[in-house]
Amino acid sequence: MTDWHSLEADNVFKKLEASKKGLSAKEAGERLEKYGKNAIEKKSKISALKIFISQFTDFLILILLAAAVISYFMSFIPGEEDRIFDTILISAILIANAIIGFIQEYKAEKSIQALQKMSAPKSNVIRDGVLQEIDSELVVPGDILVLEQGDKVTADARIIEEANLQTNESALTGESLPVSKIVGALKEHTVLAEMKNMVFMDTIVVRGRARVVVTGTGMSTELGKIAEQVAETEEKQTPFQEELDKLGKKLGIMIMIIIAFVAALQFFLGMGRNPLDIFMAAVSLAVAAVPEGLPAIVTLALTIGVRTMAKKNALARRLPVAESLGSVDTICTDKTGTLTENVMTVRKVFSSDIELDVSGEGFATEGKFSLKGKESDPDKLEELLKCGVLCNDATEGADEHGKTKFMGDPTEIALIVSAEKAGLDTKLEREKYHRVSEIQFSSERKMMTVVCMEGSKKTAYSKGAPEILIGKCAYILSNGKKEKLSPKDKEEILKKNSEWGGQALRVLGFAYKEVGKEIKDEEIERDLVFIGMQGMIDPPRAGVREALEDCRKAGIKVVMVTGDNINTAKAIGKELGFAAEGALSGYEIEEISDEKLAKVLEKTEIFARVDPAHKVKILEALQKTGRIVAMTGDGVNDAPALKRADVGIAMGIRGTDVAKETSDLVLLDDNFITIRDAVAEGRGIFDNIKKFVNYLLSSNTAEVLAVFIFTLLALAINFGPGAVILTAAQLLWINLLTDGLPAIALGLDPKSEFVMKRKPRKKNEGVIDKRMLFSIITIGIAMAAVILGVFLWEFFYSEGTDLTEKMVRAQTAAFTCFIIFEMVRVQTVRASFRTKLLTNKWLWMAVSASVILQLVVLYTPLNTFFRVVPLTINELDGIVLGAIVFIALTILIVKAEDRLFGQRER
């Protein structure tokens, strides 16, 4: 690979076999054939079928699919026709779950496919010695591109001529300020951010003009290399997806073992059943035991969470990301635009007479000048502010809504805004002082001068680096009078410049000079009158410091990773509460081993001058220590890190399409506060998932235990031939009511107000931890024991006249107990999470609907289909008494839970 930046321009032409006159049409055609089109390769198309099929690969779903198929074939056996009901119900649940998952995932994948859109559609090139406009896809190595202010660079190229060229490379390098470009060769080992004699694909020319020779096109550009890294990075599951898969497999294995044991017990001990009855009982037990609603309800809860997050400006591209955000314990965030406004703002102004602070945010023209905290009149600064307006190329216009919009270099926009804060009519000043000539800014000169005419009076206005400008000055404006510039004045000015620089302010000095009608350029910038200085910075966003503090209180480590210089990063970091001590630059990261970097990351919170490789190195070092990492980014340079991160977060406003394509979450407002809010929503989502996992599994455990224990009791008690505590239809109805509306409504539970005051869960902590396992088992045992007690009471003491009628009445009581107890259980689960009783109206509506539906089954002709009978008042009293006993046992279990595992964090 050729280091084009280290070669002199003549050698670049030799290597490329090109010249300043450009290529001929024939040469360009041959090179197009050789190198291919100047385009980023497209990703393979999304397969809708593949996404839909993937919805059926979960282990729990496979068990239910098997049960549905078996039930379908059994429905053809005489006497087993009602098995078709099992097949229809299971299939309906599975298809609904698949459709929900498919729609969400397919829409998310289709929404952002943009690698092919990264290049500008047209390019100005010199072909056959003539300037031509061609499709950017036809640009080839050796072409001469002609760049002007506002152009998007369409290929990587070496600069051969330039006039005050500056490019915005923030999307590629993370540098927030425009980069001044040069022609000369650089050292071989120069980092990307400092290749000042190169321009890169997808960067923007913000000032000046240039001619450049193309060195790389398409996938051979820096952008193309990043796109290739993204393609090579394998798509990996989120932590939550991994947990849910493990949970499904564990549950499936446990269920299969229980079913096999019960079937074997019934087969070997006889119990008056033929093998077909035993097999069908096992299938019914599988349907009862598998929480078939779990995948659908998890999907629905995540969908609800995603919609809530979208309302708060966080757009999740994949459903599981909504939960994954809640489990992150480290956030690596950009500075520019995420923590800061991504606009330059004047913070301080200085003249020989006074130093004032300037308030206000961004490009808003509202702000005040103050001296030691007290508002001060900026009238004495009129000449300083006027100079900043006149020696300025930024323009003021309007957007599509008619609102004021500034265009140009952010630094120059900041000067216009500071003047307008002081009450200057900047448009009027520019009309009054008409520019007649200029000496443009260059990176070598580090200053700019314009000559303006007011009537017949000519005045030169200059701005530049104070240490350069002061050397051009012989006078100073003091109290509105021109005085000789003394060594003491120079010392004071340079001292103030150094002081502001230490605060990461970008400092510009200002001067003027009255000039005659005939004067040479080299004489204009001599014996200037120094007016003062303005110090500016890209300020922190309002509310970001508080959001960062909330994250730290929630046990989340926040790391600033920026392309800016280390002084700026440290100054902004201090203002936002980051530990500035131990801040590292990209150069230092390169010298540190992976093992040492992992140790350094325990304390270091600021990394500056980083490039794409540094970001990935930091990310991987954090992940090796077991951390769940969210990484933010906006440029194409961030794509590999975004894809490798546990949660990749792209910027919606200033983010490139590549960054959005590879991210998991897009911030619609580019604000760190939105990340904080999204994390809180994610934690709330996971709480709700834990609630209904606990609810569903404890209820299903009770069902399995009741069936299992009844099987053992049937060895000693004559319940009648082929007796079961619940029929297949009854078990399915119970699951439909309990896995349906109430479980779904749990997903709408509001998040706890204390959700950001607890530490993140550990990476190896599953959905079902020891506490939940204790709750599921103990509650399942308690529910099964009480329901069996009610069943036996009704069987021995019911109003039935014969064994069959007693069995039906006892079954009806047990059937209704399951519905009522599980409605009680849903509230006790919420109570264990310290959720207030009346905060979810949808849950109360769901519980009421389930109870009403059960009453409809009991007291309408539907009871014959379910083989149940209407319950008498005495029988209902027994169920209510059983519910009271169950509530009392649940309270005791929750107290035991708190003693064993400590009181749950709210």
Answer for the pair 606, 589: CB distance below 8 angstroms, yes or no: no
Per-residue model confidence (pLDDT) at position 120: 39
- What's the rounded Cα separation, in Å, for the pair 601 and 586? 14
**Could you give the C-alpha distances from 872 to 506, 589, 851, in angstroms and in order?**
85, 77, 17
- What's the rounded Cα separation, in Å, for the pair 713 and 707? 10
Per-residue model confidence (pLDDT) at position 90: 65
Of 58, 86, 202, 334, the active-site residue reads: 334
Per-residue model confidence (pLDDT) at position 115: 32
Q: Cβ–Cβ contacts within 10 Å for residue 284, how many?
A: 24
Residue in 742, 725, 838, 842 with CA at minimum distance from that of residue 791: 725
φ and ψ at residue 356, rounded to 5 degrees: -120, 150
Per-residue model confidence (pLDDT) at position 108: 44
Answer for the pair 688, 681: CB distance below 8 angstroms, yes or no: no
Residue type, 867: R
**Could you give the C-alpha distances from 630 to 330, 648, 675, 887, in angstroms and in order?**
6, 6, 10, 42
The one-character DSSP state at 174 is: -
The one-character DSSP state at 271 is: T
Answer for the pair 140, 28: CB distance below 8 angstroms, yes or no: yes
Per-residue model confidence (pLDDT) at position 107: 56
Tell me whether residue 10 is one of the annotated catalytic residues.
no
Q: Which two tokens stand for residue 886?
A: 């169950």
Give the pairing of strands 584-585 and 606-608: parallel
- What's the rounded Cα separation, in Å, for the pair 856 and 865? 12
Residues forming a β-bridge with 535: 348, 507
Per-residue model confidence (pLDDT) at position 129: 84
Q: Which two tokens stand for residue 558?
A: 């926040």
Per-residue model confidence (pLDDT) at position 113: 42
SS (H, E, C) 355-402: EEEECCCCCCCCCCEEECCEECCHHHHHHHHHHHHHCCCCEEEECCCC
Divide the 906 residues of the chain into consecutive groups of 10 and give the mean pLDDT of each group: 88 92 92 89 66 70 72 74 68 67 58 37 83 88 87 90 85 78 91 91 83 93 77 54 67 73 70 59 63 67 79 81 83 87 88 88 88 88 95 74 72 93 92 88 81 92 93 93 93 91 87 84 89 90 92 93 81 88 87 86 89 86 90 76 89 71 84 92 86 86 85 78 73 76 81 85 75 91 94 82 84 93 89 82 90 92 85 89 94 89 70
Q: Which two tokens stand for residue 453?
A: 């005419």
What is the DSSP code string of 482-504? EEE--HHHHHHHHHHHHHHHHTT
What is the DSSP code string of 528-549? EEEEEEEEEE-PBPTTHHHHHH
CB neighbours of 264 closer than 8 A, spacing ≥ 6?
Answer: none
SS3 842: helix
- What's the rounded Cα separation, in Å, for the pair 880 and 142? 87
- What's the rounded Cα separation, in Å, for the pair 903 and 212? 67
φ and ψ at residue 389, rounded to 5 degrees: -80, -40
Residue type, 596: K
Report residue 454 CA to chain centroid gap: 53
- What's the rounded Cα separation, in Å, for the pair 237 and 251? 20
Answer for the pair 663, 735: CB distance below 8 angstroms, yes or no: no
Report residue 571 CA to chain centroid gap: 26
